[in-house]
Amino acid sequence: MRQRKTASETWIRNAWVITQDSKRAVFEGSVRIVDDFIAEVRKGAPSRISSGTKVVEGRGRALIPGFVQAHIHLCQTLFRNLADDLELLEWLSERIWVYEAAHSHSTLRTSALLGIHELLSGGTTCILDMGTVRHTGSIIEAVRETGIRASVGKCLMDHPKTTPPTLREKTRDALHEAKSLFAQWNGAENDRIRVSYAPRFVVSCTEELLLEVARLSREQGALIHTHASENLKEIQLVKKLVNCENIEYLDQLGLASDRLVLAHCIWLKPNELGILKRTDTSVAHCPSSNLKLASGIARIPEMRQKGIRVALGADGAPCNNSLSAFQEMRLAALIQKPGNGPRSMRAQEALDMATREGAKALHWFDKIGSIEVGKRADLTLVNLSHPENLAPVPRRPKDLAETLVSSLVYSAQSQHVEGTWVDGKLLYWGGRVRSIDRDKLVKDAREAQRQILSRRRR
C-alpha cells in the first residue's frame, strides 16, 4: 500500500501583507502555505500552529506577490558591461548578435543560471524569456533546476537579407525546433515551465515565419513574444521592408491578440494604440533599457488610460545593466512625472505592472500575481526596516497601503529581499539561492565569458 505524502506547511506571520488582490488590501497579518498553494491569508498572527510547521517571522517585512518580469534575455547575462553606449541596431549588430552566435550549450546554461540567480535574489519569481537561436533547451534546463517560473521561447531569425549568417536559420528548421521545444516542455514541472514562440522582431523574420507563428499560437494557445517599435531607425527599416508600421503589420498577419506580448512599444501611431486595445495585446515596458539605448520613453500613462495592459521587464543585462524589478518599478514611475505631472504614474500602478499585470500578460493570473487563497505560493519577503528604506508608521490606518507601496517602489532595492518562494518552495533565503553554488557560478561565468570572447566572429 502506497504511503500518503505528508503535506509541507509554512506560516509567514506578522508581516505587512500586500495582497495585490482586486481591492489592493494591505494589512498586518499572516499567510499559510501548504505544499504549492496559499492555504490561508489572515489578519494578525495565526491562532494555532501545527507541530512540524515551518514558521517565518515577518515583522518589519512586506510580503508581496513575487515579481513577474514580462521581457528578459537570460542568454545575454554574460554580456553585461560588454555592450554599452550604443543605439539599438548598432548594439545588436556590433555586439549582441556577435556574442550570441558564439554561445555553446554550456555557456548558454551558465548565462541562464547567472541571470536566474540575480532574479530570484531580487524577488522575481516568474519571467517571459527570449532565448537566442540555438541551444534553447539549456535555458529551459536551468529553469527546471533552479525552480523559477518561466515561459521560454527560442529566438526566431530567418530573414535572408537582414540577419547575420551566424544566427540565420532556414524557416522550416527554425519552426521545427520551436515546435519540438513546445511539445517537450510546455506545461512541465506542474505547469511551472511553459514554452512561447519568440520571433525576434519584424526586421529579422520573413512573412512566412510570422504567419506560421500566428497559426501555431492560435492552435496551441501559446504566447508570442517579440520586440516592436523600440527605435526610430528600426521603424524606418520596417516601413522599408513591409510598407507599414510594426503593429499594423503584426495585426495584418494575425499575431495581435491577448497571446501577444510586445516589448517596448515606444514609437506608436494613434491607430497602433487602437490596435493594441482592440486586440488585447500586452506591452512589456522596459524603462532602464529604453533609456540606456537612447530609444525613448514609452507613453505608458496614455496606454493605461486606454485600457492597454502594460507589464514590466528588465530586458537583458547588457542594456540595463541590472535585472532588478525594483529598479524598473522606480524608473517606470519617475520618468513619466516631468512630462505628465507627479500623479501620472503612481507607486501603486508601478507595483501593479510588476505583479498583477505581468501575470495577466503571461496568462498566469489564475495562479499567480496576487496573494489569495488557492493561488500558487509565489511570494517575496522584503525587509522594510533598514535605515535606507525604513517604512514610516502612518498616522492613520487607512494610509498603511500607500505608505508601504511607496516604500517598495521608491526606496526598496534587490538587496532588501530576504526570501523568495515559487510553488511554495523557498528558493532564496539568507543571501543564498539554494539551488546554485554561487562561488562555482562566478568561476563558470568567467570561463564562459572567455570562451565567448575567443569564439566571437561577425
Give the position of cell 506580448.
261
Q: How confident is the model at residue 62 (pLDDT cuts 50, 70, 90)?
A: very high
Please give the Cα distance from 283 to 265 (Å, whole number). 7
Instruction: Say which CATH number the domain at 35 has.
Output: 2.30.40.10
343 and 213 in one domain?
yes
Grid coordinates belonging to 64: 508581496
User: What pLDDT score was predicted for residue 396?
Assistant: 82
In a domain, 453, yes or no: no
255 and 243 in one domain?
yes
406 and 342 in one domain?
no
User: What pLDDT score was predicted for residue 395?
Assistant: 75
Contact by Cβ (8 Å): 85, 41 = no
Instruction: Say which CATH number the domain at 301 has.
Output: 3.20.20.140
One-letter amino acid of 157: M
User: What pLDDT score was predicted for residue 47?
Assistant: 86
In a domain, 442, yes or no: no
395 and 251 in one domain?
no
User: What pLDDT score was predicted for residue 17?
Assistant: 98
171 and 284 in one domain?
yes
Residue 3 pLDDT greater than 60, yes or no: no
User: What pLDDT score was predicted for residue 28?
Assistant: 96
Give pLDDT tens digits for 5-15. Answer: 678 999 999 99
User: What pLDDT score was predicted for residue 425?
Assistant: 98
338 and 228 in one domain?
yes
Reply yes or no: is the peptide bond before residue 321 cis, omega within 30 of 0: yes
Q: How many structural domains comprise the chain?
A: 2
416 and 275 in one domain?
no
One-letter amino acid of 72: I
Please give the Cα distance from 74 to 245 (Å, whole number). 29
In a domain, 443, yes or no: no
Q: How confident is the model at residue 58 (pLDDT cuts 50, 70, 90)?
A: very high
User: What pLDDT score was predicted for residue 456?
Assistant: 78
Give pLDDT tens digits for 336-363. Answer: 999 999 999 999 999 999 999 999 999 9
Grid coordinates belonging to 425: 518552495
Distance of CA 345 to the CA centre of its chain: 20
Range name among 29-38, 93-102, 391-400 with the lowest pLDDT average: 391-400
Q: How confident is the model at residue 1 (pLDDT cuts 50, 70, 90)?
A: very low
Considering only CA atoms, which of 389, 392, 380, 384 is closest in space to residue 354?
380
425 and 351 in one domain?
no
251 and 160 in one domain?
yes
**Residues 36/40/46/51 CA torsion (nearest 10 deg):** -40
User: What pLDDT score was predicted for residue 457?
Assistant: 60
User: What pLDDT score was predicted for residue 455?
Assistant: 86
Please give the Cα distance from 380 to 121 (Å, whole number). 10
User: What pLDDT score was predicted for residue 45?
Assistant: 95
Q: What is the mean pLDDT of the chain?
A: 96
Grid coordinates belonging to 138: 539549456
Count Cβ atoms within 10 A of the Cβ of residue 50 and give its class: 0-12 exposed, 13-18 middle, 19 or more buried.
exposed
User: What pLDDT score was predicted for residue 392?
Assistant: 87
3-state SS of the chain is CCCCCCCCEEEEEEEEEECCCCCCCEEEEEEEEECCEEEEEEECCCCCCCCCCEEEECCCEEEEECEEEEEECHHHHHHCCCCCCCCHHHHHHHHHHHHHHCCCHHHHHHHHHHHHHHHHHCCEEEEEEECCCCCHHHHHHHHHHHCCEEEEEEEECCCCCCCCCCCCCCHHHHHHHHHHHHHHHCCHHHHCEEEEEEECEHHHCCHHHHHHHHHHHHHHCCCEEEEECCCHHHHHHHHHHHCCCHHHHHHHCCCCCCCEEEEECCCCCHHHHHHHHHHCCEEEECHHHHHHCCCCCCCHHHHHHCCCCEEECCECHHHCCCCCHHHHHHHHHHCCHHHHCCCCCCHHHHHHHHCHHHHHHCCCCCCCCCCCCCCECCEEEEECCCCCCCCCCCCCHHHHHHHHHHHHHHHCCHHHEEEEEECCEEEEECCEECCCCHHHHHHHHHHHHHHHHHHCCC
Q: Bridge-partner residues for 129, per DSSP?
A: 72, 152
Give pLDDT tens digits for 376-419. Answer: 999 999 999 999 999 888 878 789 999 999 999 999 999 999 99
User: What pLDDT score was predicted for residue 5?
Assistant: 66
In a domain, 3, yes or no: no
Kindly state the average pLDDT of the residues 416-428.
Answer: 98
Contact by Cβ (8 Å): 262, 116 = no
179 and 37 in one domain?
no
Grid coordinates belonging to 205: 523574420
Q: How confident is the model at residue 130 (pLDDT cuts 50, 70, 90)?
A: very high
Give pLDDT tens digits for 196-242. Answer: 999 999 999 999 999 999 999 999 999 999 999 999 999 999 999 99
Task: Among 311, 338, 361, give the residue marking a domain's end.
Answer: 361
38 and 164 in one domain?
no
In a domain, 366, yes or no: no
User: What pLDDT score was predicted for residue 60?
Assistant: 96
Considering only CA atoms, which of 199, 194, 229 is closest in space to residue 214?
199
User: What pLDDT score was predicted for residue 394?
Assistant: 80
Percentage, residues of the chain above pLDDT 90: 95
Please give the Cα distance from 404 to 53 (Å, whole number). 28
In a domain, 96, yes or no: yes
Task: Among 313, 329, 361, give the residue marking a domain's end.
Answer: 361
In a domain, 2, yes or no: no
Residue 4 pLDDT greater than 70, yes or no: no
384 and 271 in one domain?
no
In a domain, 369, yes or no: no
Q: How confident is the model at residue 248 (pLDDT cuts 50, 70, 90)?
A: very high
Please give the Cα distance from 290 to 335 (Å, whole number). 11
Give pLDDT tens digits for 294-330. Answer: 999 999 999 999 999 999 999 999 999 999 999 999 9
207-220 vs 171-185: helix crossing angle, rounded to 10? 20
163: containing domain: 67-361
